[in-house]
Amino acid sequence: MRWLYHTAVAVSRRAWRQLTSMRTALVLLFLLAVAAIPGSVLPQRNVSPEKVRTYLDTHRQWGPTLDRLFFFDVYGSPWFSAIYLLLFVSLVGCLVPRFRSHITALVKRPPKAPKHLDRLPAHATLPGPATPETAERIRRVLKQRRFRTAVRQDGDVTEISAEKGYLKETGNLVFHFALLSLLIGVAYGSWFGWHGNRLLVQGDDFAFCNTLLNYDEHALGAQVGENDLPRFCLRLDKFTATYLPSGQPVTYKADVNVKQNGRESEKLLQVNDPLRLDGANVSLLGHGYAPILKYTDKYGKSSVNVAPFLPSDKLLTSNGVATFPDVNINPETRTRDEKSQVGFSGVYVPTLPSDPSVNSSAFPAENDPRIMLQAYRGVLGFDAGAPLSVYTLDTRQIEAGRLTKFGAPMALKPGQTGTLPDGTTVEFAGTVQWISISIRHDPGQPIVLGGAVALLVGLLGSLSGKRRRVFFRIAPTGVTAGGLPRSDYPGFADEFDEIVRAAAPAASVPQQVPQTENVEEVV
């Protein structure tokens, strides 16, 4: 049992040393970057569950395998979390001993001068005999250059040890602690942050309040519940966009009404200028058009549908559907043939091109709008209880023949009405605009920002710092000097020569002691 205990302890020590080595930390950092690639390439369930379902339907062979391996939930997967945790432990185990050693080196006196200064990479003998003021002059010259000095007396021999350049190791430690703070900030934001996306249509009827049910897509941190979301409501009152003649957007401006904490205010939302609310930030992502269609059934009952269409190109050629599941109900019997539901698949162009056969808009603004509609009649599929997209008709119903085309395609201007084969009509009443917004709260952002700034500062310090040591031995027979660079420093020889000339007797050099522009910290 004792042998087993000692073996386990030895193995644990070796494993800990291996885990806390800088080489292992670099390998884990590389693995973390590689592990994040699927999260950028494949749709993620916490961001876009609809795209995940589409991917699984399209790739039935390997899609389920990827799903079992958490490739659609990369950042919450066990293997990604394991790499992340190992990297965190490795950095902590690597940095804490280095930090202790660095603090010890900062408060420790410079080491004694080696016995043979002439064996150092840089060495020199000062001209003239030593005087009682020589040691003080040399110490003053080194202090002016921000060297940490230590004077030791051994009989009639005085030794001065000086060192400089701890900024390099300080910057190195700051850099790695900043990297550690980045990991902490990302993890903290992942646990206590949340985000959601919403398509917000213009008008009072489409106001949005901050609850999970009102989001198109959302993701909550592990420690965030639905009741933790801040309470506020948004309403889009007006959207204004300007474009270059080429169709490239210049400005997007959304006038929104905000209700929070019992107060109501008007705010301007722009790209790269988010609304900063209490507990959340609202960012403008994009915009589009929502055609207003009015369908009148065979009994004379009218229904209005405001259907957001999704842009398919930069000129805002948009595709979408408008569905009318509760039409053609007999007012006398209150019954409806389930096969008499109506839906319209359409393409909206804000500006009709000169060649109408080109099924694309000529400009993103509404200069000459048209909507091309194809009517379908049958079973829309809402009664089946399966989740359906609000932007496309149910292809399963079309493939099964339960939803078929009804009449010829029609092109309508705003205000025009089209008639279907059964005498029912559809009117294109115009459009309202919509915006897509991202609402998020990330409490780890200040930590990440501070870590990023510290990382740059530490990197600059690590690259600019150059550690070196200089020794002087003052004896009755003369003064000798030696220098030792502790890192790659091509300019050390010139710096050493300047120090030697400044420390030489007054008769050998000018009275003025050269000043240095080096502003490195001495601790």
CATH number of the domain residue 144 falls in: 3.30.160
User: Average of pLDDT values for 303-316?
Assistant: 92
pTM, whole model, 2 decimals?
0.71
Please give the residue range of the domain that contains residue 414: 290-434
In a domain, 510, yes or no: no
In a domain, 521, yes or no: no
pLDDT at 521 over 50: no
- Cα–Cα dist 378/344, whole Å: 12
- Cα–Cα dist 31/20, whole Å: 16
pLDDT at 520 over 80: no
pLDDT at 513: 37
pLDDT at 510: 37
Q: What is the DSSP letter of 301?
A: -
What would the two tokens of residue 401 be? 């023949």
Query: How many distinct structural domains can be found in the chain?
Result: 4
Whether residue 358 sits in one domain with residue 321: yes
In a domain, 128, yes or no: yes
pLDDT digits (tens, 9 = 90+) for 254-308: 999 999 988 999 999 998 899 999 989 999 988 999 999 999 998 889 999 999 9
- Cα–Cα dist 140/159, whole Å: 14
pLDDT at 165: 85
User: Average of pLDDT values for 229-242?
Assistant: 94
Whether residue 100 sits in one domain with residue 53: yes
In a domain, 425, yes or no: yes
In a domain, 300, yes or no: yes
pLDDT at 82 over 50: yes
Among the residue ranges 199-203, 329-333, 512-516, the one predicted with the least confidence is 512-516
In a domain, 518, yes or no: no
User: Average of pLDDT values for 89-114?
Assistant: 87
Whether residue 332 sits in one domain with residue 426: yes
What is the identity of the amino acid at 516? T
pLDDT at 387: 63
In a domain, 169, yes or no: no
Element (H, E) at 427: strand 425-441
In residues, how long is the chain? 523
Which residues lie closer than 8 Å to 348 by C-beta, 6 or more apart? 289, 291, 309, 317, 318, 319, 320, 369, 370, 371, 372, 431
Whether residue 281 sits in one domain with residue 393: no
Percent of the chain with pLDDT over 70: 94
In a domain, 519, yes or no: no
Whether residue 425 sits in one domain with residue 382: yes
Whether residue 424 sits in one domain with residue 402: yes
User: Average of pLDDT values for 170-192?
Assistant: 89
Whether residue 338 sits in one domain with residue 388: yes
471 band by pLDDT with thresholds 50, 70 and 90: very high
Whether residue 336 sits in one domain with residue 378: yes
pLDDT digits (tens, 9 = 90+) for 479-500: 999 999 887 778 888 889 999 9
